[in-house]
Amino acid sequence: MDHEQLSSSDDREPLISIDIGDVHDHTAALPLSCLKWLLWTIMWLLLITWLAFIFCFPLCIVNVTIADFTTLTTPTFLGIEGPMFLIYSGPVLIIAFLSVPYLLISQKQQHQEIKKMSRRKCPSYHLSTFPLVVDGPLGVVSAAECVGILIFVSYFLWSVGLYAVAGEAVLVGLKSDILPFMFNIGGVSLGYIGIFCLAFLFLPIARGSILLRLMDIPFGHAARYHIWLAHLTVYLFLLHGICFVVEWSIEGVLLEEILTWTDLRYNALSFIFLRVGEVSRLQWHSFSVSSGSLDGDQTHLSVIIKALRGWTTKINEISSRICSAHQCLEEHQLPGITAFVKGPYGHEVPHHLM
């Protein structure tokens, strides 16, 4: 008898009891849900606007608008860096700030979402977890990753097409030097595309980034995106450099363009890496720079070298031999030193302003 009563009571009792507190939690969570939806809408609008601006950057009207906007702020203390930072980095920073309260609200509502997911009878599919390509050159690629790849490929083709159309309109009026101008347009367009890819290159590699938490991307996946984008960026800048090398070779100014730096700026107490071919073909040594670009002469760079051991002693001997040759040889007969320089490196701000 007791067994029958127990079984009948078990049949009448639901498997999952309805908690009365869920109703109160749902009522209390309504303002948070509205705030979360508002933040989500603002972030998506900013992201879409930012991406639309990047896609429309090759258009002439966008470049004219940016030029007009920068001319208004250039005379101020912001200079040209202020509007550039506001245009390109402002939306990303605003999204990062808004993602903090969005993630805090999401953590509070995570318990209720887990309850809702546990009551679902049918499994759900997500683009980020649905494998679309399993055995390919990029490994396992999900549907969301394929969408991102298609967006970058479409942006590349779109930008190249717009720059090609703009260049063709200019080529119609040219009667000579068409081939160098074609390579110039190709190099400039690939450089602009590479700059935007370079901006995206640093977003997935930042450890503990709030943006990665917002998009729910693990750092391991983000590092893989960084590698994919890095390969694309390297190829773009490689083609960018090849276009300009070909252009300068056709015009006959390759050495002048590569070796001559018309706008070399460096500060005193910077350092360079120096290799002298007459001493060694492999050894690089670092030295401090005793001059600065503010001295007025940008064609010379002064380095103080103290003869201590074999390498610096040989430099001293070669310099003494050249100085003694000045007395008995003409200028075109004087021996020289073949020096290779890396740098100058150092702080970008002048030391008297620090």
Comparing 266 with 59, the larger pLDDT belongs to: 59
pTM: 0.65
If you compute the radius of gyration of the chain from its CA atoms, what whole number of angstroms results?
Answer: 32
Q: How confident is the model at residue 242 (pLDDT cuts 50, 70, 90)?
A: very high
Q: What is the pLDDT of residue 348?
A: 64
Higher pLDDT pick, 76 / 70: 70
Alpha carbon distance 351, 267 (integer Å): 8
Euclidean distance between CA atoms 159 and 196, whole angstroms: 11
Percentage above 90 pLDDT, the chain = 6
DSSP string, 60-74: HHHHHHHHHHHHHHT
- pLDDT higher than threshold 60 for residue 318: yes
Across 135-149, 272-286, 322-336, the highest mean pLDDT is recorded for 272-286
Mean pLDDT, rounded, of the chain: 77
Is pLDDT above 80 for 266?
no
What pLDDT does 125 receive?
64
Do residues 274 and 289 make contact, with C-beta atoms less than 8 angstroms apart? no
Please give the pLDDT value at position 45.
93
Please give the pLDDT value at position 23.
47
Residue bearing the bigger pLDDT, 19 or 268: 268
Per-residue pLDDT reduced to its tens digit, 192-223 = 888 888 888 888 877 778 888 888 788 887 88
